[in-house]
Amino acid sequence: MKILEILKNKKLFFFQIFLTLYIAINLVGGDRGLVSYFEKKNYEEKLSSKHLQLSKEIEEIEHKNKLLADKIDIDYIDTLYRSKLKFGTKDEVLIKLK
């Protein structure tokens, strides 16, 4: 019986303890806590690095496309068919590296 009287008298104190614990737990964990924040930050960094990598690949492909589109670059075409078709002249020696 004394426990019930103590609880009735100290309602505000227990409510404050509960509220403080609730806020502390949600600050650290949960969907919007510190742990989630750092996970999302790492994910954002990975995505930004992948974005840079893909941007470089797109620029490289656009450059190759320009070499083939408007003005024909004979040196680039020569490099392409030598590498893709393993083609060479009679006096050249081809060495396959792999």
Please give the Cα distance from 80 to 7 (Å, whole number). 84
pLDDT attached to residue 21: 92
Q: Spell out, as residue ranges, where the chain has pLDDT lower than 50.
A: none
pLDDT attached to residue 53: 97
Of residues 64, 69, 63, 66, the one with CA closest to residue 84: 64
DSSP string, 70-98: SS--HHHHHHHHHHHH----TT-------
pLDDT attached to residue 92: 75
